[in-house]
Structure 1
Amino acid sequence: MSETLRVEIDVDETFRILRQLNRKAMQNAWRRTLRKTHVWIKGQVAKAVSKNSKIPQKVLRSRIYFFLKSYDTGKVWLGLNAVEAERLGYPRQTRSGITAGRFRFQSAWVMKRAAPDGPVYRRAGKARLPYERVRYDWADAGESAFRSVAALAEQRLLTILKQEVNYEIQKAIGAR
Structure 2
Amino acid sequence: MSVGSYHKQSASTGLITLQADQTDLKAFADFAALVPKAAIVAQRRAINRTLRWLRTYIARAVGQQERIAVAAVRQRLRAYPVGSNGQGKLWFGIDPIEASRAGRPRQTRAGVSVAGRRYEGAFYKKVYGGQSDIWIRTASKHFKASDYPDSEVSGRGGASSGWIAENGSRYPLAKAKISLADVRPHFDAWTKRADEQLLKFLKRELNFELQKYLQGSVRV
TM normalised by structure 1 equals 0.83
Q: Does residue 134 of structure 1 match 2:176?
A: yes
Of 142-151 and 78-87, more deviation after overlay is shown by 142-151
| Ranges in structure 2 where 5+ consecutive residues have no aligned partner | 1-10, 141-168
Q: Who is 1:86 aligned against?
A: 100
User: C-alpha separation between the residues in 2 aligned to 1:167 and 1:113?
Assistant: 55
Q: Does residue 28 of structure 1 match 2:29?
A: no
Q: Does residue 168 of structure 1 match 2:213?
A: no
Q: Secondary structure at the match of 2:171?
A: coil
Moved runs in structure 1, 4+ residues, more than 6 A?
5-8, 112-115
Q: Does residue 105 of structure 1 match 2:119?
A: yes
The one-letter amino acid of 1:31's match is R
Q: Secondary structure at the match of 2:123?
A: strand
Q: Structure 1 residues 31 and 71, CA, compared in 2 at 3 Å: closer, same or farther?
A: farther
Q: Structure 1 residues 114 and 168, CA, compared in 2 at 3 Å: closer, same or farther?
A: closer
The size of the alignment, in residue pairs, is 174
User: C-alpha separation between the residues in 2 aligned to 1:119 and 1:10?
Assistant: 45
TM normalised by structure 2 equals 0.68
8 Å CA contact retained: 2:135, 2:176: yes
Q: Who is 1:124 aligned against?
A: 138
Superposed, 1:2-21 pairs within 5 Å as 2=12, 10-14=21-25, 17=28, 19-21=32-34
Q: Who is 1:45 aligned against?
A: 58
Deviation of 1:35 after TM superposition, in Å, equals 0.7
Q: Structure 1 residues 71 and 25, CA, compared in 2 at 3 Å: closer, same or farther?
A: farther
8 Å CA contact retained: 1:64, 1:76: yes
Q: Structure 1 residues 4 and 83, CA, compared in 2 at 3 Å: closer, same or farther?
A: closer
Match of 2:196 among 143, 155, 161: 155
Q: Secondary structure at the match of 2:88?
A: strand
8 Å CA contact retained: 2:20, 2:198: no
1:117-166 Cα shifts (integer Å, max 9, x gaps): 612211234585111221111221x2233332212122111111000000
Of 143-152 and 51-60, more deviation after overlay is shown by 143-152
Q: Secondary structure at the match of 1:148?
A: helix
1:44-64 Cα shifts (integer Å, max 9, x gaps): 212221222111211111211
| Ranges in structure 1 where 5+ consecutive residues have no aligned partner | none
User: C-alpha separation between the residues in 2 aligned to 1:113 and 1:149?
Assistant: 37
Find the structure with the greater CA-based Rg.
2
1:87-116 Cα shifts (integer Å, max 9, x gaps): 11221112321112222222210237989x
Deviation of 1:5 after TM superposition, in Å, equals 6.2
Q: Who is 1:143 aligned against?
A: 184
Alignment RMSD: 2.9
